[in-house]
Amino acid sequence: MHLSYSLDRSEKYIMAILVLFYAVGVFIHIHPFFQPLIKYTTEPLLYITLGFLFYFDFKKGKRTDILWWYLAVFIITLTIEIIGVKSGKIFGQYNYGNTMAMKIYGVPFIIGLNWIFLIRGSYDICSFWIKNKKIIPFFSSAIIVLFDFIMEPVAIKLDYWQWFESKVPVQNYIVWFILSFVFSLGLNKMRFTTKSPILGIYLTIQLLFFLILLFCLT
């Protein structure tokens, strides 16, 4: 189903706030004087942003079954990340740095939350542009992999995480695709239809954020 949106007033406000947050974030990240603040601002702002988006998404959609999807994505991705960090056999050998401090078994708590909104954002974008719902999980997962490919050099530079190898292993992108595909397929099976473009806008803003930092910092 091809969808069309017109932003209501609340969505316009949220979009303006997101643009402002990430514009300030770019400035803090690229200006040497403010870079020490990254360690103290990144995680709290992510929690505030994702908490706000979660409330808005649930209120707008008014579907309680999406809560079970949220919970499943959070628990499964966080568990896989923990196993991945401990074993080095899922994504490759890597460790999370000190930029994100609140961790459980070496994995930042925020990572499970961010998986939720990345997948939902990419799924919503594809729902908007693609009429054939059956192929949405594939393209949604491809967007997630592209996002990770752009994010990796920046995340390493900012000590979000570090790889033991000189390059990001290919298996990392393969696992990202598989996880994204499975959870996007879950949304498909639920016949989920987004009621707002905000999560797609959020993913787009994040992508632009990392693209700008990619050129400025690496």
Q: Give the whole-angstrom CA distance, residue 165 versus residue 162.
A: 9
Mean pLDDT across the stretch 64-68?
A: 81
Domain chopping of the chain, boundaries: 9-217
pLDDT tens for 116-157 read 989 999 998 998 888 888 999 999 999 999 999 999 999 998
This prediction has a pTM of 0.88
Under the banding of pLDDT at 50, 70 and 90, the label for residue 1 is very low
In degrees and rounded to multiples of 5, residue 89 shows phi and psi of -110, 0
Ranges 5-19, 123-137, 194-208: which has the least confidence? 5-19
The more confident residue out of 85 and 7 is: 85
Higher pLDDT, residue 58 or 198: 198
pLDDT digits (tens, 9 = 90+) for 89-104: 999 999 998 888 888 9
Q: What angle do CA 201, 203, 204 make, to 5 degrees?
A: 60
pLDDT tens by residue, 15-36: 888 898 888 888 888 887 777 7
Tell me how far apart the alpha carbons of residues 26 and 77 are, in angstroms, rounded to a whole number.
Answer: 27
Say which residue, 40 or 198, is predicted with more confidence.
198
The answer to whether residue 2 scores a pLDDT higher than 70 is no
Asked whether the predicted pLDDT for residue 87 surpasses 50, the reply is yes
Band of pLDDT at residue 86, cut at 50, 70 and 90: very high
8 A C-beta contact, residue 108 and residue 102: yes
Q: Which band of pLDDT confidence, cut at 50, 70 and 90, is reported for residue 6?
A: low
Judge whether residue 217 has pLDDT over 70: yes
% residues pLDDT > 70 (the chain): 95
Crossing angle of helices 170-189 and 65-87, in 10° steps, is 160
Q: What CA dihedral angle connects 92, 95, 99 and 100, to 10 degrees?
A: 90
Token reading at 16: 């303006």
